[in-house]
């Protein structure tokens, strides 16, 4: 509780990672999560809540106390939440007031942690090396079905039911979290990551000589070839950002052997490097039009799609990617994950989080009506082809007007 009371997110994370305290520890009648939610003096409340949830804080007891789900209107059904039978009259008014006053982003993350599909999906990698990736839900908004499918693939891979290297392509429209997920992947697993900006490549030589360009990684002077040599046989991550935007698609041919056999040779005369434990993540806008068409054809496009709908979209997208990258490349890709448009609740959460990030301490000085007005105006400026970027831009412009 001292780390939380200090309002220091990094200190809270350090305590949880060290095991000195657990996310569900209690002090008196309150859990750590309840203490944060009912504490109006915390400037970093949202980030501390996200940190607690990421490390396993269980919101269910608080939801039960509340007597209803901590979501905005019409969100409980899509989140898989049901209202407990306990009478709200028996609940602490402090808890009720705190949950009612939650900003849309914090409310979204609490609801997400309590959703039935979240618990089922987390169980897929509960006992595997990839378990820390469950925290990714508190690093990005939306894409629940993509995360679920990713966890299914990782579950199979971690049980060594697949003998081939792991190659995952994240495809879909801009601004929907593809690059964010890819770049957070290695950090959450605490393994080395090398990110290649594929738009700068002109040849195979450029691929192996490329330096990492991710802001989430420790600066290094290693090329991709040196990175793979230094981490030979070890678990590590290579992100190929904007993979379809290479000037010459023949550049990708050098990935055929690494992706099929887990062996890599940078030159004809060089020895083979063991890359079987490398996780290859590619991001691409291929199929963004197909994703939008699928979204518009749904009867309830503002609700999270079902597992069956998502699988159908995956099956429709893979041939589109194969047509662009070539069958030789696609035959070695483990899975293609479509990233889909946000629901209204997800867009509200993004706006709220943007306000929290961009406004900083000034946010505490804004009235609830001003905050809600900013969110509504940002939603009106939403550009689906730009995704979250358009919402962040709209919030930034609104804050300029407010100041």
CB 112 within 8 A of CB 79: yes
In the chain, where the domains are located: 2-119, 139-338, 344-402
- Give the Cβ contact number of residue 20 at 10 Å: 10
Distance CA(308)–CA(311), nearest Å, equals 5
Bridge partners of 282, per DSSP, are 169, 240
pLDDT of residue 92: 47
Residues contacting residue 359 through CB under 8 Å, at least 6 positions apart: 366, 399
pLDDT tens by residue, 23-52: 888 877 888 898 888 888 888 999 999 999
CB 287 within 8 A of CB 320: yes
pLDDT tens by residue, 310-352: 999 999 999 999 999 999 999 999 999 999 999 999 999 999 9
pLDDT of residue 67: 54
CB 103 within 8 A of CB 371: yes
pLDDT tens by residue, 70-123: 554 334 333 333 333 333 333 445 544 556 678 999 999 999 998 888 988 888
- Give the Cβ contact number of residue 379 at 10 Å: 15
29: tokens are 């009648």
pLDDT of residue 98: 55
Q: Under CATH, which number does the domain 139-338 receive?
A: 3.40.50.300
Average pLDDT along the chain: 86
CB 194 within 8 A of CB 222: yes
Radius of gyration for the chain, computed over Cα atoms and rounded to the nearest angstrom? 22
- Give the Cβ contact number of residue 141 at 10 Å: 26
Residue 171: helix, strand or coil by DSSP?
strand
- CA 167 to chain CA mean position, Å: 18
pLDDT tens by residue, 302-312: 889 999 999 99
Distance CA(22)–CA(155), nearest Å, equals 26
Query: How large is the average pLDDT for residues 140-158?
Result: 92
Position 364 confidence tier, pLDDT thresholds 50, 70, 90 = confident
- Stretch among 87-96, 99-108, 192-201, 273-282 having the lowest mean pLDDT: 87-96
Helices (H), 234-285: 256-261
CB 244 within 8 A of CB 325: yes
pLDDT tens by residue, 218-261: 767 899 999 999 999 899 999 999 999 988 888 899 999 999 99
């Amino acid at each position: 509780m001292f780390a939380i009371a200090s309002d220091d997110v990094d200190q809270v994370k350090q305590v949880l990672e060290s095991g000195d305290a657990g996310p569900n520890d209690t002090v008196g009648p309150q859990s750590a999560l309840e203490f944060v939610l009912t504490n109006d003096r915390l400037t970093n409340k949202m980030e501390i809540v996200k940190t607690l949830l990421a490390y396993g804080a269980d919101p269910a007891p608080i939801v039960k106390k509340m007597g209803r789900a901590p979501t905005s209107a019409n969100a409980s059904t899509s989140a898989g939440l049901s209202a407990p039978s306990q009478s709200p009259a028996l609940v602490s008014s402090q808890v009720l007031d705190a949950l009612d006053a939650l900003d849309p982003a914090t409310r979204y993350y609490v609801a997400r942690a309590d959703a039935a599909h979240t618990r089922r999906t987390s169980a897929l990698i509960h006992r595997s090396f990839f378990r820390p990736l469950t925290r990714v839900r508190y690093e990005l908004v939306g894409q629940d079905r993509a995360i679920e499918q990713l966890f299914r693939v990782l579950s199979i891979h971690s049980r060594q039911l697949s003998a081939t290297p792991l190659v995952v392509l994240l495809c879909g429209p801009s601004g929907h979290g593809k690059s964010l997920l890819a770049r957070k992947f290695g950090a959450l697993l605490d393994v080395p990551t090398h990110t290649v900006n594929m738009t700068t490549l002109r040849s195979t030589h450029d691929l192996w000589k490329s330096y990492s360009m991710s802001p989430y990684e420790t600066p290094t002077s290693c090329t991709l070839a040196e990175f793979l040599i230094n981490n030979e046989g070890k678990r590590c991550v290579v992100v190929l950002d904007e993979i379809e935007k290479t000037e010459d698609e023949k550049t990708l041919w050098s990935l055929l052997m690494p992706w099929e056999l887990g062996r890599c040779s940078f030159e004809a005369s060089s020895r083979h490097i063991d890359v079987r434990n490398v996780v290859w993540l590619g991001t691409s806008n291929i199929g963004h039009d197909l994703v939008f068409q699928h979204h518009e054809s749904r009867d309830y496009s503002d609700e999270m799609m079902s597992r069956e709908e998502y699988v159908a979209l995956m099956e429709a997208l893979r041939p589109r990617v194969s047509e662009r990258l070539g069958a030789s490349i696609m035959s070695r890709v483990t899975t293609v994950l479509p990233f889909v448009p946000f629901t209204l609740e997800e867009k509200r959460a993004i706006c709220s989080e943007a306000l929290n990030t961009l406004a900083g301490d000034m946010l505490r000085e804004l009235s609830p009506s001003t905050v809600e007005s900013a969110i509504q105006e940002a939603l009106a400026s939403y550009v689906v082809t730009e995704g979250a970027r358009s919402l962040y831009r709209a919030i930034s412009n609104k804050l300029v007007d407010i100041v």
